[in-house]
Amino acid sequence: MDRRPGTNPTNQLITMVPLLVVLLLALILFGAGFALKALWWLAVIVLVVWLLGFVLRSADNMPVGPG
């Protein structure tokens, strides 16, 4: 039987679980950050389209000549 340090499956599991938890947390935070950034860009695009529609609609309602 091999009695070198670190070869016990229980010790390997105890060492691996925190590493996997940190990796999973990093992946979740990366995904959330990407999603939030994408949502910010979408909000900016919608705001620009809304402002353009507002400006163009009010310009369309202005009288052109003597009325």
Predicted TM-score (pTM) of the model is 0.53
The answer to whether 9 touches 3, Cβ cutoff 8 Å, is no
Domain borders along the chain are 12-58
Q: Tell me the backbone φ, ψ of residue 12, rounded to 5 degrees.
A: -65, -40
* Tokens matching residue 43: 């909000």
pLDDT of res. 19: 83
The answer to whether 19 touches 25, Cβ cutoff 8 Å, is no
CA 50 – CA 43 distance, rounded (Å): 10
Q: What is the pLDDT along the chain (67 residues), one digit of tens a residue?
A: 455 655 677 777 777 888 888 888 888 988 898 889 999 999 999 999 998 988 888 766 766 667 5
pLDDT of res. 10: 77
pLDDT of res. 42: 92
